[in-house]
Amino acid sequence: MSKVCLTVQPADDLVDVPRRIRLEGLAPCSQVTLRAHTRRADGVDWHSTARFEADAEGRLDLGSTAPLDGDYEGVSAMGLIWSQKPDGDGVSNVFPDNLLEPLVTHLFAETSQGSAEATLVQRFAGQGVVREDVRADGLVGTLFRPATPGPHPAVMILNGSGGGINEPRAALYASHGYVALALAYFKAPGLSDYISNTPLEYFKRGLDWIRATQKPAKGFVALNGQSRGGELVLLLASIYPKDVSAVVAYVPGAVVHGGQNACDPAVGRDGPAWLLDGKPLVHIWNDNRTASWAAFDAGQRHEVSIRTALRDTEAVARARIPVERIRAPIILLSGTDDAAWPSSLYSRMVVDALRANHYPYDYQWVDTPDAGHAIVFPYVPTTQITHRHPVTGRLFTGGGAPGPNALSNERTWESIKAFLQRAVAGYAAGWPGR
């Protein structure tokens, strides 16, 4: 009888690289249980389990076989990875503290003939990627530089209402050849704990700093933002169109919002988030005749209350981000079951405005059915739908479900990589108005 063999190909690679997980040497049509276990640097263990049936030749390939039962359904080559759940309640951080260290997942196969093991290594930073803290010109962030000689195109990465520094995305961008600055604007050392009254000039300073110190290829600097950061990158590109070379907007807003859940309690959630020239920008809650937080305060999805504000068409018009002023390619990423705010509707509003104004640059919208607000990148656990908001501490749901969210992670990241390749090539060749 053949020995049971469990293999992962490639066994060690970047986190966004799909793997082929296979078993050989099984009894024909026998059943096998596969388990995944990842221990994070914080000591939390993540697990998943699924049971399969081998084919008539005694082989099993997760890329072509759905489990009989277990923690995920349907065919998914990386289902054992994205379906992992943590030990304990309230755990949501799936990333290691040190992104230059990999995530190591141990896979175990149990059969009637015996057992087998394999290891799957996921890296956020490729070999030679350099990490540097940035504390200059009042900026707070982390820079990741590619291992290869430059010049490289650059990306500035902005978080959402949780604040802080999005190092995982910056590390992965650098691994794909971009100088990546993950720039904090609140809830980071030396900055406010809240989003309220954030001056937009701070981000202009970040863009200038990248160009002055990193000398990006042809001066190309893209903006990448998620959630409130998705709103922010569209806003910044409309205010500083000459400074932005491409826009990557994850689950964005199409209108300016107030402080909401990330607000300074002294300012209030209906107070301003953004300042320009020291003055608050008009936002959707200002003089809004239909807006109400009652649904959210009663425990319903945040998105329900946001939609009450969108019923006042005059308030929407006043707060709308003038995306037609942007002078760069735009990609929008959303999910139809976004529980934080209606990112699909907002993305449609952006696309409609671009189309109505005969926008001359490339724009793309990737909208995943049944996916929620939390879009990161492929092959990380998507099981933590509800978490405590980093600012308020209140339980908050992003919507979607693990399977659709995993699909969203995969298809959006592949779309972004192709989009940015086109954007860099188009920038170098010269766009209309450049």
Catalytic annotation, residues: 227, 338, 373
Q: Give residue 258's pLDDT.
A: 97
Q: Which two tokens stand for residue 112?
A: 């009637």
* Cβ-contact 176, 187 below 8 angstroms: no
Which residue, chain included where needed, has tokens 């209030």? 268
Question: Coil, strand or helix: which one is 323?
Answer: helix
Q: Give residue 357's pLDDT.
A: 97
Beta strands 103-111 and 114-123 are: antiparallel
Question: Coil, strand or helix: which one is 117?
Answer: strand
CATH code for the part of the protein at 5-123: 2.60.40.2240
Q: Give residue 95's pLDDT.
A: 72
CA distance 96 to 338: 26
Q: Give residue 359's pLDDT.
A: 97
pTM exceeds 0.85 for this model: yes
Q: Inter-axis angle of helices 201-214 and 228-239, to 10 degrees?
A: 80
Note down pLDDT in tens along the chain; length 434 residues: 568 999 999 999 999 999 999 999 999 999 999 999 998 867 789 999 999 999 999 999 999 999 999 999 999 999 999 999 998 765 566 676 667 788 899 999 999 888 999 999 999 999 999 999 999 999 999 999 999 998 999 999 999 999 999 999 999 999 999 999 999 999 999 999 999 999 999 999 999 999 999 999 999 999 999 999 999 999 999 999 999 999 999 999 999 999 999 999 999 999 999 999 999 999 999 999 999 999 999 999 999 999 999 999 999 999 999 999 999 999 999 999 999 999 999 999 999 999 999 999 999 999 999 999 999 989 999 998 988 888 887 888 999 999 999 999 999 999 999 999 999 998 877 765 45
Pick the CATH number of 130-428 from 2.60.40.1930, 3.60.15.10, 3.40.50.1820, 3.40.50.2000: 3.40.50.1820
Beta strands 130-136 and 139-145 are: antiparallel
Give the sign of the dihedral formed by CA 233, CA 237, CA 238, CA 239.
Answer: positive
Question: Distance from CA of residue 30 to its chain's centroid?
Answer: 39
pLDDT digits (tens, 9 = 90+) for 197-234: 999 999 999 999 999 999 999 999 999 999 999 999 99
CA distance 146 to 130: 7
Question: Coil, strand or helix: which one is 154?
Answer: strand
Burial label, 89 (beta-carbon count in 10 A; 0-12, 13-18, 19+): exposed
* Domain boundaries, given as residue ranges, for the chain: 5-123, 130-428
pLDDT digits (tens, 9 = 90+) for 101-142: 888 999 999 998 889 999 999 999 999 999 999 999 999 999
Q: Give residue 432's pLDDT.
A: 56
Q: What angle do CA 77, 80, 85 make, to 5 degrees?
A: 150
Q: Give residue 28's pLDDT.
A: 95
Nearest CA to 125 out of 113, 140, 142, 109 is that of 142
